[in-house]
Structure 1
Amino acid sequence: MKWKLTGRFLFSVVLIVILVIIINIVTFLTLFIVESAFHIPVFHGEKTESAESFTRDFKKYITMSNNNPVISDKGKRELIDRKAWIQILDENGKELYGYRLPKAIKKKYTPLDIVNAYKYVEEDIYATVFVSGKELNHHNNSYLIGFESPYVKKITWTYDSRDLMHNFKIGSILLLLIDGLIALLIGYFFSKRLTQPLYTLINGIQRLANKEYNLNYEPEGVYKDVFYNVNHLSYQLKAIEKEREKLDKMKEEWVGNISHDIKTPLASIQGYAEMMKDKEYDFSIKEMREYAEIIERKSLYLKDVVEDLNLSIRLKNEKLSLNKTKTNLVELLRSIVIDILNDAKYSTRHIDFQYTEEKIDMEVDELLIRRAINNLIYNAIVHNDENIQITVSIEKKERVHIIIKDNGRGIKKKELDYIFDRYYRGTNTGESHKGSGLGMAIANDIIRTHNGEITIDSMVDYGTTIEIQL
């Protein structure tokens, strides 16, 4: 896996380098041929005229005066600007005219002297010499222009085209081999530097896939952000896994609790049913009604548990359609409090209802809101002693605020984070309280389904306050 990734990256780097070299060579040769064949200044700017071109074109400044060659004033300025001198010769190589000539210059040239002056740098006069000619008075005169500038250089190159092509082929092959080797070495170290962190990242992702979440890489280099995100992902997955384990544990406890709660009424229903059908027993009408009442009560309890489970799943999956109607929330809360106090089991409880105005209308699903408020009040009742004082209040500000407050035992801080979780049962639940363990979660889901908010604040031995905003 490692060499496969490194090999692909290395091959790409080497291939790119070789292609760039070939393109550069082809481009350079093309531009060189264009400049040589068409005299287009590719390598030389338009404003920079070569010394050789200047020499060829200088003939336009040479004229005759009194049967003697002279140069124009503009020609003299050009020579001064280029730090050059000129020497005009007749057909026999004898000097006819000179301007800005160095002291060591010859006055008479043989053809060989002229060739040597053109081919080689004249060290005695410290100049690079170019040769050209012009016909004056029907005579072919030659002239030498010497450039004293150290930047003007000349190379005379003699070659055989066959040797040139042969050397070009060998040179190109050697160049490609050398550059390819260099590219291979550079590419190897470069690719190794880039791919080594990738191996670490791939290994880290594989460890995450295997549920090894204790990753902590040092964010540095090219992949600094990637390492940071892998660390962040590892932290999140670790937290999610921890939460999942906690939820699974709660589910197991909840299944055990609810199984026990369901078995108890089922055992009662089964027991009384078996007694009632047994021919050996002869029950009176009063006894039959008493047993029937117990069976009904246990059946209603089981029905409530099943309904809680069904409602919880529908709320969780957002598959519950709200049947909203215009409802007076003050009247709804008043009726909830009255119904609870009318229950014989809670008739002695202290529940105070407070409101700021008689009518607060709102579009809500009345049955679901009733269910949520009931769950919250019953939760305050069953988790506290009989002398608990519960206050239910409602007022309208920017939003409708419903507050359920008690002065009971309170809830431990570590339990507050889970109070609205499914399957959670508080440690203060009394033995008389049986249920699905979904009451608070259902209340929370109902309020949020109405785009509301529910918050809880509690302190041990001081009580609990639940606030709903709709």
Structure 2
Amino acid sequence: MRLSSKISLRFLVYFVVFYAVLFLVTFGMFAYIIFDLLSKEAISDIRALEAFEIESDIAKQPDGSYVFSEDFIKLAKQNSGHLYLVDQAGEVLATTEQEILSIEWVAIQKQDHAVWELTDQLFLLFIENQPVDLLLGKLYINNKIQMNDELKKEFSSVDAAVEIYNQDGIREEILYGDVYKALSSMEIVTNSQDYFERKEITAFQTMENGKVLVVRMPNTNYHPFEPALIDTMKKLVFSILAFHLFLFIFTILFSIWIGYRFGRPLLYFLHRIEKLSVKDYDPPNDKRLRSPKSGRFKRKYRIYEEVDKSLARLANTLKSNEEKIIKTEKLREDWITGLSHDLKTPLSSIYGYSIMLSSNEYTWTPIEVQRFAKTMQEKSIYMNALIEDLTYTYQLKNDAIQLNKEKLNLFDFLRSYVYACDWNDIQEPIGNKDITVYLDAKLFERVLDNLVGNAVKHTPKGTKVHLEIYEKDSLACLVIRDEGPGIPKVALDNLFNRYYRGTNTTSEISGTGLGLAISKQLIEAHNGTILVESSKIGTLVTVTFPIE
């Protein structure tokens, strides 16, 4: 997987984690609100139920009797009333009272009731039986107010109050209990239609004198809709604000964390690049990124290993190039020194002989003049060859030499070359006689002059030079082997380097010293290769060309 794909995948994982956290927090917030609402005891107004909603709460037993469900009985109690299941004749079939009474008695006793027609034969009645009604019944007996200590205790336990209003609806007297806000005549008569919206419940009785006796007490089942709604809205708004505050803080922290995860490696790589710019190739030692034991990036930064390896390869390349440049500069200095020496020596000879010839102090014989002229000619020829070879190497480097390839039988060409040479130490070529290659004959002869000539010149007289031809992996192989003392390793490593001082630095003018560098370039121009191996028992030169 490429680095870009890994980073994209990592960002995708981070986004999924971020989204998952937000989802869980949002889900938890709304779950809390819903649980809070459900945890509150929800009380329904039993009068608002429809008949089809009630049928499932009434079950007929095998013996023909009827029972109410526990939830339905609980709801009736919460509405401060009792249920009566009656038939068409008015007979009570089931009730939540302790004993079954006749429906006629129930109807006479209570005015506040609700009726549901379940079937043609069954009716359900809900009769309110508020505690305030019971208190009024105990207080007003036989058209007289009878308040005793025991009744006062009962009134006090439920914070009930007893008041008297005149015929005009004005409160005249508070007989017992706390002082409540006076009621209007309409509030006394109508009260609230919704039982759970009543902050207090009242019961009244018109006395013989025309005044109204009122008993009032707090409604223990007071559950107004508006305060509950406001409370829920407050919690919702608070939850939204808390959620956005959490989202803000979480986003900042998450961004800092992502910046840390992606920024630290970036700073590390920038630091490493800065070190490379000042030729410091060692990697920075950052223990927060790398494991002290293995030296590798820690697991969370492992995706950047490819970048780190690329920078390591770049550092090695730059370091190697710097070493090569230093080495090349040294070789060039050595080469310039050698070249200066090679040019200075023949120039000194030419200059010296010219001074001698131009001197009038001594008369030279014709033989001496001829010898001087011959030496000056040889030195000039050497200098010209040195300059030409140097120019030729640069022409080869810049592909300025045109090759005129022709089809040659390598064995026949090599044998003709040996016969044309005046070197007695070269053995007759051996090997495959049917290998055909495409070469520039003139340039290849120059290669042989350098390779075979070096083998002859730099080995003791009488040492044999062997030539062999064979085919390997569709390549034509030419082997030149001598039995000389070998080439020193330092010279072998720089054998084909034109900056290496391999030119003639002695008084013997036998060559320019650039022949091997030119030979290597010519072989490579023919898509070939050259390999030199040397030891104390001789030197082995292998030249390969593709068989076309």
TM-score norm. by structure 1 comes to 0.62
Aligned-partner Cα distance in 2 for 1:170–1:108: 33
CA shift for structure 1 position 57: 13
- Which stretch shifts more, 247-256 or 277-286? 277-286
- Helix, strand or coil: the match of 1:224? helix
Structure 1 residues 188 and 280 mapped into 2: Cα distance closer, same or farther (>3 Å)?
Answer: same
1:52 paired residue number: none
Answer yes or no: is the 8 Å Cα contact 1:88–1:142 preserved in 2.
no
CA shift for structure 1 position 159: 6.2
CA shift for structure 1 position 88: 4.3
AA in 2 matched with 1:251: R
AA in 2 matched with 1:182: F
Aligned-partner Cα distance in 1 for 2:490–2:344: 31
CA shift for structure 1 position 315: 2.8
1:207 paired with 2:252, answer no
Report matched runs for 1:311-322 at 5 Å.
311-322=392-403
Gaps of 5+ in 2: 1-10, 32-48, 60-64, 82-115, 127-223, 286-294
CA shift for structure 1 position 446: 1.7
1:106 paired residue number: 73
Aligned-partner Cα distance in 2 for 1:134–1:224: 81
AA in 2 matched with 1:377: V
Aligned-partner Cα distance in 2 for 1:244–1:277: 48
Alpha-carbon displacement from aligned partner over 1:303-344 (angstroms, at most 9, x marks no partner): 222232222223333443322122343454345445552xxx
Structure 1 residues 331 and 305 mapped into 2: Cα distance closer, same or farther (>3 Å)?
Answer: farther
Report matched runs for 1:45-84 at 5 Å.
none
1:233 paired residue number: 314
Aligned-partner Cα distance in 2 for 1:278–1:427: 33
Answer yes or no: is the 8 Å Cα contact 2:503–2:513 preserved in 1.
no
2:35 paired residue number: none
Structure 1 residues 444 and 237 mapped into 2: Cα distance closer, same or farther (>3 Å)?
Answer: same
CA shift for structure 1 position 463: 0.7
1:469 paired with 2:544, answer yes
Equivalent position to 1:177, from 237, 241, 245: 245
1:8 paired residue number: none
Equivalent position to 2:57, from 71, 83, 87: 87
Structure number with larger C-alpha Rg: 2
Answer yes or no: is the 8 Å Cα contact 1:87–1:97 preserved in 2.
no
AA in 1 matched with 2:296: P
Aligned-partner Cα distance in 2 for 1:16–1:439: 68
2:379 paired residue number: 298
AA in 2 matched with 1:380: A
1:449 paired with 2:517, answer no
Structure 1 residues 111 and 396 mapped into 2: Cα distance closer, same or farther (>3 Å)?
Answer: closer
1:187 paired residue number: 255
AA in 2 matched with 1:406: D
Report matched runs for 1:60-459 at 5 Å.
86-88=56-58, 101=69, 106=73, 109=76, 112=79, 171-215=239-283, 218-221=295-298, 222=301, 223-273=304-354, 289-338=370-419, 340-341=421-422, 350-356=425-431, 361-395=436-470, 398-413=474-489, 415-425=491-501, 432=508, 435-459=511-535
Gaps of 5+ in 1: 1-11, 33-55, 63-68, 70-85, 90-95, 115-132, 144-155, 342-346
Answer yes or no: is the 8 Å Cα contact 1:261–1:435 preserved in 2.
no
Aligned-partner Cα distance in 2 for 1:411–1:428: 16
CA shift for structure 1 position 166: 7.1
Answer yes or no: is the 8 Å Cα contact 1:254–1:437 preserved in 2.
no
Structure 1 residues 423 and 167 mapped into 2: Cα distance closer, same or farther (>3 Å)?
Answer: same
Aligned-partner Cα distance in 2 for 1:437–1:140: 130
CA shift for structure 1 position 265: 1.7
AA in 2 matched with 1:112: N
Answer yes or no: is the 8 Å Cα contact 2:342–2:505 preserved in 1.
no
Computed over aligned residues only, the root mean square deviation of the Cα atoms, in angstroms, reads 5.0
- Helix, strand or coil: the match of 2:495? coil
Alpha-carbon displacement from aligned partner over 1:21-76 (angstroms, at most 9, x marks no partner): 99969x99xx99xxxxxxxxxxxxxxxxxxxxxxx99959x9xxxxxx7xxxxxxx
**Larger RCO, structure (CA 8 Å, separation 6 or more):** 1
AA in 1 matched with 2:543: I
AA in 1 matched with 2:515: G
Give the number of aligned pairs.
369
Aligned-partner Cα distance in 2 for 1:427–1:276: 30
Aligned-partner Cα distance in 1 for 2:459–2:404: 34
1:92 paired residue number: none
Aligned-partner Cα distance in 2 for 1:248–1:111: 105
AA in 2 matched with 1:214: D
CA shift for structure 1 position 163: 7.7
CA shift for structure 1 position 215: 3.3
CA shift for structure 1 position 285: 5.8
CA shift for structure 1 position 279: 7.2
CA shift for structure 1 position 270: 3.5
CA shift for structure 1 position 400: 2.4
AA in 2 matched with 1:196: R
Answer yes or no: is the 8 Å Cα contact 1:59–1:134 preserved in 2.
no
Structure 1 residues 369 and 437 mapped into 2: Cα distance closer, same or farther (>3 Å)?
Answer: same
Structure 1 residues 415 and 280 mapped into 2: Cα distance closer, same or farther (>3 Å)?
Answer: closer
CA shift for structure 1 position 105: 5.9
Aligned-partner Cα distance in 1 for 2:51–2:354: 132
- Helix, strand or coil: the match of 2:530? strand
AA in 1 matched with 2:332: K
Aligned-partner Cα distance in 2 for 1:308–1:428: 13
